[in-house]
């Protein structure tokens, strides 16, 4: 079976790494046994949605992801421009060199764009991290999830909530595969390799004595005044502890204009995977509007304050260490007060977030081709 594995933006890279590793292990085992009966061949297609070294190449290097076979070089643009470029270039590639199955991960523009192209060329589509829903159509990611799942053949899911969402939309059980979370495979595999970034020394950070913050959602950062209110509320309520903020390119442009500064605020560029997770694992808490980070903090047992009104990952709240603080800067003070009172929930680890998801996915793929 010929599989195209699609990756385009930063949060995709940690999700594909364990799947590629599991396919390669299978290929090696088959070549030792001199059998090619169960071979899965893959091509890695990078759409080029994220292209900066710090948003892409650093992750390939650290996570040992092989060089992509093709790079569609889509780069930045409006949602429609980016989607159109990815679709046109992936379609051209498939017309010249077809594949049997297109495997997409997550919820970024590349996920939706490639699944549409593949399905229209009558290929099968597999979606890893299928079925999660925020029901917030103001987020491009929710539209990407809904469109992708509406044309997916094989649904690989991270939770029972996702399974139920899919069942409610009429997907039969035979097409839903509850396999766990590939992002957590990557986290657990690399945990011992996390390493302190330079800011650890320069800001004299101490374990449990600083906070990490990330923010890049258009709804939070595109309105300058709101971002300013968020920053002010956070800095005023962290009891003087350092706040380390690795800034996404979208947010950097706006923060530059605002000229935000404070003695305890450390604005730095996007960090590679090992360095970012070192900071998270040793922090007092994380403030974020990312979805993936809420999963990582849950597994690392670090309190997470989500600066959104909803989440497509409810198990990070019901089982894990995450709480929704919302998008009103007024909610920051009471949430941080609770954190500093020492009463933040401890959380446990969601079912099947055990580091074996990549293997489970490849086992299903092997059975599909039989």
Residue 11 in contact with ligand UD1, rule: CB under 6 A? yes
Residue 61 CA to residue 256 CA, distance in Å, equals 29
Residue 145 in contact with ligand UD1, rule: CB under 6 A? no
- Identify the bridge partners of residue 155 per DSSP, sorted by sequence position: 127, 176
Residue 249 in contact with ligand UD1, rule: CB under 6 A? yes
Of the candidates 44, 111, 45, 123, the residue with the CA atom closest to the CA atom of residue 83: 111
Note if 216 is an active site residue: yes
Residue 49 in contact with ligand UD1, rule: CB under 6 A? yes
User: What sign for the dihedral angle of Cα 15, 156, 298, 239?
Assistant: positive
Piece in contact with ligand UD1 (CB under 6 A), picked from 50-58, 173-181, 202-210, 354-362: 50-58
Q: How far is the CB of 9 from ligand UD1 (least distance, A)?
A: 4
Residue 353 CA to residue 60 CA, distance in Å, equals 22
Residue 98 CA to residue 45 CA, distance in Å, equals 13
Residue 306 in contact with ligand UD1, rule: CB under 6 A? no
Residue 127 or 248 with smaller CB distance to ligand UD1: 248
Helix, strand, coil percent content, the chain, rounded in steps of 5: 45, 15, 40
Residue 78 or 341 with smaller CB distance to ligand UD1: 78
Residue 144 or 152 with smaller CB distance to ligand UD1: 144
Site for ligand UD1 in 206-225 (CB under 6 A): 216
Residue 298 or 360 with smaller CB distance to ligand UD1: 298
3-state secondary structure of 217: coil
Strands across the sheet containing 154-157: 70-71, 41-46, 2-7, 101-105, 124-128, 154-157, 176-178
Residue 115 in contact with ligand UD1, rule: CB under 6 A? no
Phi, psi of 299 (to 5 degrees): -75, -35
- Identify the bridge partners of residue 306 per DSSP, sorted by sequence position: 288, 324
Residue 284 CA to residue 303 CA, distance in Å, equals 7
The one catalytic residue among 50, 127, 216, 248: 216
Residue 51 in contact with ligand UD1, rule: CB under 6 A? yes
Q: How far is the CB of 108 from ligand UD1 (least distance, A)?
A: 3
Q: How far is the CB of 239 from ligand UD1 (least distance, A)?
A: 29
The residue within the footprint of ligand UD1, chosen from 46, 127, 145, 248 (CB under 6 A), is: 248
Residue 50 or 360 with smaller CB distance to ligand UD1: 50
Mind telling me the catalytic residues? 216
- Residues near ligand UD1 (CB under 6 A): 9-11, 49-52, 55, 76, 107-109, 140-141, 216, 248-250, 290
């Amino acid at each position: 079976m010929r599989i195209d594995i699609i990756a385009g933006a930063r949060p995709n890279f940690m999700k594909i790494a364990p799947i590629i590793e599991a396919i390669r292990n299978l290929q090696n085992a088959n070549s030792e046994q001199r059998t090619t009966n169960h071979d899965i061949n893959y091509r890695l297609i990078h759409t080029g949605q994220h292209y900066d070294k710090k948003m892409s190449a650093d992750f390939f290097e650290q996570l040992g992801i092989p060089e992509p076979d093709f790079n569609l070089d889509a780069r930045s643009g409006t949602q429609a421009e980016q989607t159109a470029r990815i679709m046109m270039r992936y379609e051209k590639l498939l017309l010249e060199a077809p594949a049997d199955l297109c495997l997409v991960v997550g919820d970024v523009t590349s996920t939706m764009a490639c699944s549409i192209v593949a399905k229209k060329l009558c290929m099968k589509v597999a979606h890893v991290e299928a079925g999660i829903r925020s029901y917030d159509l103001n987020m491009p990611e929710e539209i990407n999830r809904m469109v992708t799942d509406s044309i997916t053949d094989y649904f690989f899911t991270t939770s029972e909530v996702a399974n139920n969402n899919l069942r409610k939309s009429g997907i039969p059980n035979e097409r839903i595969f509850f396999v766990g979370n590939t992002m957590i495979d990557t986290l657990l595999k690399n945990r011992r390799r996390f390493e302190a970034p330079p800011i650890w020394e320069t800001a004299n950070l101490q374990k449990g004595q600083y906070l990490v913050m990330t923010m890049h959602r258009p709804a939070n950062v595109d309105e300058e005044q709101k971002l300013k209110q968020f920053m002010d509320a956070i800095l005023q309520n962290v009891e003087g502890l350092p706040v380390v903020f690795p800034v996404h390119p979208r947010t950097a442009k706006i923060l530059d204009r605002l000229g935000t500064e404070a003695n305890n605020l450390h604005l730095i560029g996007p960090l590679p995977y090992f360095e970012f997770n070192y900071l998270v694992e040793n922090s007092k808490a994380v403030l974020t509007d990312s979805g993936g980070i809420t999963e990582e903090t849950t597994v690392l047992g670090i309190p997470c304050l989500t600066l959104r009104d909803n989440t497509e990952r409810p198990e990070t709240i019901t089982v894990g260490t995450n709480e929704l603080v919302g998008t009103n800067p007024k909610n920051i003070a009471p949430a941080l007060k609770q954190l500093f009172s020492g009463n933040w929930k401890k959380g446990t680890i969601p079912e099947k977030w055990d580091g074996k998801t990549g293997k489970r996915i490849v086992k299903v793929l092997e059975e599909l081709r039989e």
